Amino acid sequence: MTAAIDRLYPRAAMNDRTNARNSSRSSSARSIAGATAALLLVAPLLLVAGCGSKEEAAPPPQDIVGILELPVAHRGSPAAPTGAARIEIGQSELRLDGHSIAILATGALAAGDVTNFAIPKLRTALTGGRATAVLYVHSATPYATTLAVLKTLRESGVRNAVFAVRRVAPAPTKGAPPPGPTLTASFLELRDFQVIPETEGEVAFPSVAPLAWSEVGAQWDAVKAACGMSDTADCMWKPDSIAVGGNAKITLRSRGDGVKVEFLQVGAPIAEAPAAAVAMIPGVPAAAAPLAPGAAPGPGEEIPPPPATEASFTLRSGTTIEPESPISAMMRNVCGSRACGVVVVSDREQMTMRVLSLIGAAFPEGSAPPSVAFQLPR
C-alpha cells in the first residue's frame, strides 16, 4: 500500500523522506551541543582534581649538597645507617629530613639562629629519640656551622654522627693516568662523639682506655720518620729526656692551610724536689744534688733541658688527602689497631672539609675507630 501511494504521489513521498532526514540531523546537532556543554562544565573540575593529585605525588626536594661537594677522607664505609636523622648543610640552607631549618649565607648561620653555640630551631625539630644522624655537609661550610649542628645534636640525645664523604682515590699505578674523583658516597662514623669547652687538661673518653705517655715516648722515632714523608713538615726530634708517668692527650689541630698532630703529657704526678746530697765518707765532699725544678744553677753549672712533656708534628693540610698520607703512617704507630680518643681543635672560619679530612687521615679505613671530642672555639 505504501509503495502504491508513493507511486501515486511521488513528490509527497520525497517531501516526507526529506523532512525525516532533517528531523534526524536536528536531533543529532542538539545531542552534540548538549555533550559539548557538559564537557565544558566538567573540564574545570577535572583540571582541579588533576592538580590536586600532582601535589600529593610531588617529588622529594632535591639534595642541596652534590656528590662532588662532599669532603674527601681516608675513612668511610659504603653503607649509610638506616633510621637516622638526615642533616643537610648547604651553602644557602640547613635542612632536617628534607625540611628547611635555617637560611645560610655562604654556609654561615645568622646570629639570631644560634644560642650558646647551638641551634634552637634544630633542637625543636629533632624528635623521635634517634641516636644517629647522617650529615651531608658542603666542603666549604664554615666549621662554626658544623660545630653548632653537632652541639645541637648532642644536646638532643644524638650520640653518633655519620658524615657523608668521598673516599680518597688510590694512588695511580705506574704508567697509568691518575684516577678521576670518587663519585660515590662513603660514611665516616664517629660514635659517642663529644662537644667540649676549651681545656688544656685531660679529656675523658668513656669508651676507650687512656693512652699512656710512655707509649708515645716508645714510638717517637717512628712517628717522626713517618712525618718526614712530607718535605714541608716540621717534625719534632726526640729529646734525650722524656717525662715519666701520666697519659697522652692527642689533639688534632686544623688552621688555615696547616694541620698539627700533638701529643701532650697529662695526669702525671707532680715532681718532688730532690733530696739534699749527704757525705758518705768523712772528709770527702758529697756529689752535687740535682737541681730542683725552677732552681737556679750555681756558677759554672749548665742547665739541663727539662724532660719532654709534649711532641708536636706540623704538616700542610694537603697531606691529609694524599693517597699515602704521612699522617696515617704517623698515627698507625701510636693507635693503629687500638682505639684512641682525640680532641679536635679548629678556627670558626676553617672549612669543614679540612677538619674531616684530618680525622680521616689520622684514622684511615682499617684502623680502630676513634672517639672524638670537638672542642668549642673561643
Residue holding cell 673516599? 167
**Does residue 131 belong to any structural domain of this protein?**
yes
**Does residue 328 belong to any structural domain of this protein?**
no
**Does residue 123 belong to any structural domain of this protein?**
yes
CB 259 within 8 A of CB 317: yes
pLDDT at 77: 95
Residue 73 cell numbers, joined: 677522607
The tally of domains found in the chain comes to 1
CA atoms within 13 A on the CB side of 84: 22
Which region among 174-188, 195-209, 277-291 has the lowest average model confidence (pLDDT)? 277-291
Which region among 55-64, 75-84, 326-335 has the lowest average model confidence (pLDDT)? 55-64
**Does residue 160 belong to any structural domain of this protein?**
yes
How far, CA to CA in Å, does 3 sit from each of 12, 16, 17, 18, 20?
A: 12, 13, 13, 17, 17
Banded pLDDT at 340 (limits 50, 70, 90):
very high
The stretch 219-236 carries a mean pLDDT of 97
Between residues 108 and 26, which one has the greater pLDDT?
108
**Does residue 108 belong to any structural domain of this protein?**
yes
Between residues 291 and 103, which one has the greater pLDDT?
103
The stretch 201-210 carries a mean pLDDT of 95
pLDDT at 227: 98
**Does residue 116 belong to any structural domain of this protein?**
yes
Instruction: Single out the residue of 153, 135, 204, 180 nearest to residue 343, CA to CA.
Output: 204
Between residues 355 and 44, which one has the greater pLDDT?
355
CB 195 within 8 A of CB 151: yes
**Does residue 92 belong to any structural domain of this protein?**
yes
pLDDT at 2: 44
What is the 8-class DSSP label of residue 229? T
Which range marks the domain in which residue 110 is found? 67-171+180-192
Residue 43 parent element (H or E): helix 10-56
**Does residue 73 belong to any structural domain of this protein?**
yes
